[in-house]
A and B are shown apart, each in its own frame.
Chain A
Amino acid sequence: MWLRLILIFVLGVLFQLSVINNLSLGPFFNPLVYSLIILKLPFKTQNWALLIWAFVLGLTMDIFQNSHGINAAATVFMAFSRPFVINLLTSQRDFGDEDTPSIRDRGTQWYIFYSLILLLVHHFIVFILEEWSASGLGIIFLRSLLSAGLAFGLLLLAEYLFFVNKN
């Protein structure tokens, strides 16, 4: 279990740094897929552990991108909002110890809403801290919407490739 989570963490960061960040898709498409680990932590994860995971993840990205706390602030906020999103979307909450948010366990529609909301939160905070004053809120929002959409597409692909058919 631990091994798998650390693998997702490392692969997410590596994929973001070595592939996604080297693609030039123009100013509006800047997908951030490294946050996959926050989406995939088991339901039974303690809330404080969730925040620590997110903080370490964000700090790692900040070190590699020279972005000084931007990613850490965004991932911590994303982890903070995760329990609320789960509460919002799920009616019965008797999760098993090994249950993780996935299409296999919770269904496609649930997973789409869950990941899309959290990705949007994450992207929005990263972009608003990056821009700070340079351009209007409308542009930042459009940028987060398009980038989060693309990140969501990529993560959905990963979900179908790696997480659905594993028995």
Chain B
Amino acid sequence: MLNLFRFIARYHFFFLFLLLETISLSLYFSYNYFPQAYYFRMATSFHGTVRSKVAAVTEYFSLKNANRQLAIENAILRSSGSDAFLKVDTNTFWYHDTLYLQQYKYTPARVIANSTGLRNNFIMIDKGAFSGIKPDMGVICPQGVVGIVVAVSEHFASVMPLLHSASTISVKMKKNNELASVIWEGGSPDRASLISLSSQVKINKGDTVITSGYSLIFPEGIMVGTIDAFEMNPDDIYYSATIKLSTPFSRLSYVYVVQNLFKDEQKALMEKQKQIVPHNK
């Protein structure tokens, strides 16, 4: 036993190195399975407090642009609201309308930390569990999709943007509803890859790609981007295409968190379906 201690003391440099490296790498690998780990939540809370102070200052620099964006959006909303239309029929609309149940709820939030230059980027917003934000909610901005909430603390939330190696967004072509997926393979923050788009359909440069609404996270029809370049191998069943993202990830300042009010119901239904019809795995 004493010899063992002597051995460890003699090579303490190497053993301490092994220990610390094991801790670091286990953090790294465990993250892939348990994104809501305790460490992450603590880190989010601490990081958020510091970053919101920094953002309170740096926000002023982009205030002009943010104002213009909001003004444009306001104009669009005003022109689509009920006040903007002349009522020509005599029907009355109930407040608790039985025909139109609200499915999506939007919570505005401010971006307080953002990165685009890394392989796995992260965004932090200044709304958390206190404002009803939960993990797995979608995040969008006026120009398009942003990402998915992965962890929340009391007043902050971490968002995994599309610019992350673990992000996949279910999309469709606007013109013919053909399904595909968007992933980001690194590099420029305004380009992403469109995968598993069947080569049976015809696509053109500039075609619009929107969210499919099948993932229970994003509503249908949120802008993702436009096709920038594509090619097809004759013996391949999928296109390989690049899209130009509509979201300006490097200039994000205000975003909306989307809550699907029927998500639990839809999930429960899917669970039930799995029990009745076991899918072959």
Contacts and interface: CB of A to CB of B under 8 A. Distances in A.
B46 A72 contact: no
Nearest to B164: A66
A129 interface: yes
B28 A66 contact: no
| Residue in B17, B26, B47 whose Cβ sees the most chain A Cβ within 10 Å | B17
Contact of B13 (A47, A73, A129): A47
Interface residues of B, number: 35
A90 interface: no
Give the dominant DSSP class at B's interface: helix
B28 A51 contact: no
Contacts of B122: 65-66
B119 A69 contact: no
Interface stretch (A55-63, A102-110, A115-123, A159-167): A55-63
Interface in B122-171: 122, 158, 165
A134 B120 CA distance: 11
Contact of A18 (B25, B54, B119, B187): B54
A21 B13 CA distance: 32
Interface residues of A, number: 37
B39 to A, nearest CB: 8
Contacts of B116: 24
B13 A51 contact: yes
B260 interface: no
| Residue in A25, A26, A51, A58 whose Cβ sees the most chain B Cβ within 10 Å | A51
**Nearest 7 CB-CB pairings of A with B:** A69-B27, A69-B28, A73-B24, A72-B24, A68-B31, A130-B119, A47-B13
